Structure formats: structure tokens, C-alpha cells
Amino acid sequence: MTVLLPHHDGSPLYVSNDAPRLGDIVTVRLRVPSGYGPIADVRTRSNPDHEPEWTTAARIGTADGWDWWEARITVRNPRHGYRFALEHVDGRLEWLNQSGIHKLETLDAEDFALVANPAPPAWLNEAVMYQVFPDRFARSALADGRPTPDWALPAAWTDPVDPVMPARATQFYGGDLDGLTEKLDHLVELGVNLLYLTPVFPAASNHRYDASSFDAVDPMLGGDEAYIRLVEAAHARGIRVIGDLTSNHSGDRHEWFRAAYGHPGAPEEDFYYFTDEDNTEYECWLGARSLPKFNWASEELRARFITDADSIVARWLRPPFNADGWRIDVANMTGRLGDIDLNAEVRQLLRETILRIDPEAILLGESTNDAASDLQGDGWHGAMTYPSFTRPLWGWLSEPNGEPYLNAQGEEETAPWFFGIPVGGIPRYTARDFVDAVTRFTAGIPWRVRQANMQPLDTHDTGRFATNAAPGTVPVAVGLSMTLPGVPVVFAGDEFGLTGVDGEASRTPIPWGTETVPEVAERLSLYRDLVRLRREHPVLGTGGLRWAHVDDAAVVFVRESADESLLVLATREGVDAALPAGALPGAAAAQALFGDATLAVASDGSVDIVAEGPAFAVWSLPGVVAPSAPTLSALDGVDRGR
């Protein structure tokens, strides 16, 4: 039987203002199961300027079997962390923070956190992102008239992807932006409303992360005019468009690098880390000499790239291009080299420029591992990151097929690719492990930032989840991506059922014309239904998250708001879960929205959920009822424990 525990998160049910300014007073609420403890007193403990500060909470009433407590917190730092201290009648003390309930004192890094920096635009909460790798999405008739670039190995659209170097980086299918524009109605039918393009700048590779210029769109993609046509057509359909920018490095053909390479004293010399007197040796990304690393100590680089009125960052957000934001490649390494760490300065400059040019634009950073230190709300709105969702999901829902494949060096591999981790292949996780990993890697990230994190099953840098998915688990995986907090991401081709063992094999040309093939039509229908679920229920974008039941086979959670709650079941092996009275207020009025599972409510309000696995199911419940707040003027004072 599930045990009910006290709960708080950063959603509007519990936090009165998620975008405070310094000095603002924010009301926070705690929800405690009636009879828990019993509780004698509740306080909040903050740590402004690294000095503890306490406020006393008042019990404001009971609703649906839960006692509600409320306190006021004065926001004193840009990231203002806080936790709850629960004093039991018998003298025991418990702490509640983002990692859960604890009897031992907890880490400041895992506190709930209010962020006193401008919030992301509200539209991001409603976004379902669709990622396109331009060379492989669609090819217009105009592409036939363009010459093949000097670096490219041409391929027909139906040719298999060659995973071995040099073809790995140079195989060229010739997809272009006009081809993408012609297929925008596919995105509309799918229901996505945010298009993310990997780089569109001229380069010497199919991935274009080695830009030779940031000032123009690659002519192979149709040039600037094709980009303008794409954005205008997307906007006309209610789809926003963000670009991909490499702040860590340029390509070795970039005009800035060519001006400095072999030319000591050139104005662009300080843009990079040259290590010899002749400017012919230099720092680069992970040893790749085609990707020289930027030196962000250069004020001129900062001006040209970010801060000037006509900077790269600003140029593409303004007319006639009108992009809606940026995803920043290798954001985690940007400005970092040995004992140098300018990352915070760079991300804050990026944020300031975007706010100045277009406050409705978004800024997402790539940080593929533990991203908590960089995700405190001072720069990136959110991140493309894998350990807080993608990797644990693979570990839980995969069943490696053992099929051999070739790596970049042409060597045969049998252990399945797993995010570059060189040993062990895909780990074997339980549902409980999945929840533990999600909790661990989100505990240090403010709720508001967590909501803006990208939540992909896979991307252009990974294998496709479906390659090693256990039978029947694709709906479970897609469903979780659409219902857990964060921005759902569909990598183009997933909705066609494409597979790919690693980040190159996943970059497969879209098989247009196969939409009516039964297995493809079924997968397309799945994606349309789950995207629609996400889009039609705002609680999935802004509501709280409460785990209702977790065991080795299944997870049950509730996304909650005052207007509506959604109950979500995800299981690989099946579930027969008994939830106590009070766990799911309003369950008797539940309406099934998706999936095949049974929900039964007893007369005392306890709930049984039964399903054969794999299964993913969603029910709509009434919104959470909370007592009205009394006046807290008597509790406005602060106790510093002295």
C-alpha cells in the first residue's frame, strides 16, 4: 500500500508567484496528509547570503483529506532556496525539499527555489517541440539545381546512412528549407507548435556545426530567402521556430578563424586560443581541429557574437528573419577551459541580449549530463539534457536486441550505444530506478527551469529509442515525454517509426510516402493522439507533479492544478496498485482519456489501478481543492534563530 507523504512543488497550487523580483514576498503552501505525524509546527528555512532564515507557517485548513499550511518568504537572492521543516508532536523533525522527505538535514542545492530573474515566455509551457536535421528532412525541386559542395559525398534520398568516417560527416542528401516549408502541414497534423532546426549556416559537413559563417543561411539550404519563407509560413500556422548556434566553437573555415590563422596580431586573434607564436596551433572541441574553440575573454568576440545591435544572436531574432529563440550547442563547455570559467558571463550576456531584442524569445542550452550548476535561472531558460529523463527512460523501457553495427571507425560493435558511455551498453532499470533518477537529476534545478527543459526520447545526437525499445513500450515512452514536466520533443522521423543505433544512424531521411503503410500509420496516430493530449490539457504544461505510486514495475503520478488534474499510469510489466483514501481526491469522477487500464474507487475513497503491461493510461480528475488563506499579517516577521 502506498504511503501518503507531505507535498510541495513550484506550481501555482503551492507558489503564489514564480517570477518574483528581489524583495518580493511570495506565499508558499505545504500539503500534508491528515493524520500524518501528527504535526505540531511547520516552518520554512531559507539560506539568503548563506545565513539561515526561518518563517513560521500557519495551518489554514483541511480539504479532501489533506491539511494545508502556508508561509511567506521574502526573496533575497536571485536564486532563493527554501525547504520545509516539519516538527512532529513527539519531537521528531523532518525536512522536505525537492528530493523528498528526510529525517536528516538536507543539502541547500536540493532546496525548492524561487528565481528572481525574468521568466521564460508563457508560450513555452504550451510548446511541443519538433526537431529537424535539415539535410535529411525534405528536399524541394529547387535542390536539384544546386551543385554538390566540394566536401560532400552525394546520396540518393533512399540510400542508407553510412555511419563510417568520412561519410559519417559528409554524406549529403540535399534536404533544404523549401522542402521543409512544403511539409509544414505534416507538423500541423501532428500537433507540434515549436520547430527546432539544427544549424543552417554554411559549413563543411552535413551537420553544419562547423560553421564557416554565422551571417547567412547555407545556399545549399536555399539561402536567406528560403529561411524567411520558412519562418513566415511556420508562423502563419502557429508554429514558432528556433535556431541552433555554436557558442563553444566555429568551424575552421569560419571567416573569423581564417583571418587569425597564421596571422599573429589580427583583430580576430583573441577570438580563439592559439597556442603558438604563428597562430597555427589552437584549442579545439574534443581534439577536432575542424572546430576551433572560442575564447570568451575577448570583448570584441562578445560584441560581434552577442552584445552589438547587429550581433549574430540579435540579427536572426529581428526582421526579416524573426526567429523565436536559440538552442545553444555545447552550452556546458562554452567559456570553460582548464582554470578558465566564463560560462556564467556568456549565458547571462546571451539572456540579456535576447530580452532586449525580443522578450518572447527563448534560450535553451545543451548540457548533456548533470546540468544543475548551470540551470539556476540566470541564463538558460532550460536545457537539452539527458540524465533527468532520457537516459533513465531508456534504462527502464529498453530491451537491447544485440544486433551488430559499425562505429565511426568502421569497427563492429555489439553492445548497444548508450549516450557515449563506453561500458556496459544500456543499463537495466526498474520503474523505481527511473523515478529515482528523474528525482535525483531534477532536485537541484528550480521548478521553473525544470519546466523549460527539453524532454526528448532521442535527438540527432543519439540513437533512436525505438531501436532497442522493449515490445509494446513505445506508447509508454512517448506518453511519459508528453506528461511529465518539461518541453516534449519529437525528433523528426520518430513518428514514422524510424530506428537508428547511434547519433549518425538516427539521422535518416524521412520516408515520405509511407504514411499509409499500416505500421507507420499506427505510429503516426499514436503521436497525434499524445501530442493532442498534451496540447488540450494545460495542466501538463503548468501543473504540479505528485508521485502517487511507485514500484519496480510501474509508476503512477498526478499532474495537478486548481482547474484539472490528470492521473497518469506507466508500466512495462503490468500493475495492480492499491492507493489509500486521500491519494487521489476526486477519483470517483475520473474520466478515461487514453490507454487501456482499470481504475476502481472504493466507498472509502481508496483506489485500485490494474493494467497488463506494457501500458500507458491517463484519466482526467477534478482540480485540487485547497482552503482559502487567512490573513497572515501576524506571521510576516522573520525568525533568524537567534
Residue 508 has phi, psi (to 5 degrees) of -90, 140
Provide DSSP, 555-590. Answer: EEEEEE-SSEEEEEEEESSEEEEEE-TTSSTTGGG-
Q: Closest by alpha carbon to 132, among 190, 212, 214?
A: 190
Distance, in Å, from the CA atom of 428 to the CA atom of 381, rounded to the nearest integer, reads: 32
| Residue 534 burial (10 A CB sphere; 0-12, 13-18, 19+) | buried
Amino acid letter for position 78? P
Angstrom distances, CA of residue 229 to CA of 28, 124, 146, 147, 566: 46, 23, 18, 22, 39
Catalytic residue among 366, 495, 504, 564: 366
Angstrom distances, CA of residue 480 to CA of 229, 316, 365: 34, 33, 22
Find the angle CA(290)-CA(499)-CA(413) to the nearest 5 degrees. Answer: 65
Per the annotation, the verdict on 366 as an active-site residue is yes
Helix/strand/coil percent split, the chain, to 5: 25, 25, 50
Q: For residue 32, give the H/E element and its range.
A: strand 25-33
Catalytic residue among 269, 329, 494, 564: 329
| Residue 61 burial (10 A CB sphere; 0-12, 13-18, 19+) | middle
Cβ-proximal residues to 290 (8 Å cutoff; 6+ apart), any chain: 204, 205, 210, 251, 252, 284
Q: Are 32 and 70 in contact (CB under 8 A)?
A: no
Q: Are 336 and 352 in contact (CB under 8 A)?
A: no
Strands (E) in 89-135, as ranges, are 93-97, 100-102, 112-115, 129-132
Distance, in Å, from the CA atom of 260 to the CA atom of 304, rounded to the nearest integer, reads: 15
Distance, in Å, from the CA atom of 362 to the CA atom of 462, rounded to the nearest integer, reads: 24
Angstrom distances, CA of residue 267 to CA of 272, 277, 299, 523: 11, 15, 11, 53
Strands (E) in 93-221, as ranges, are 93-97, 100-102, 112-115, 129-132, 153-154, 171-172, 194-197
Q: Are 113 and 75 in contact (CB under 8 A)?
A: no
- Cell, residue 293: 574553440
Distance, in Å, from the CA atom of 496 to the CA atom of 478, rounded to the nearest integer, reads: 13
Cβ-proximal residues to 610 (8 Å cutoff; 6+ apart), any chain: 575, 576, 577, 597, 598, 600
Q: Are strands 564-571 and 554-560 parallel, antiparallel or unpaired?
A: antiparallel
Hey, which residues are catalytic here?
329, 366
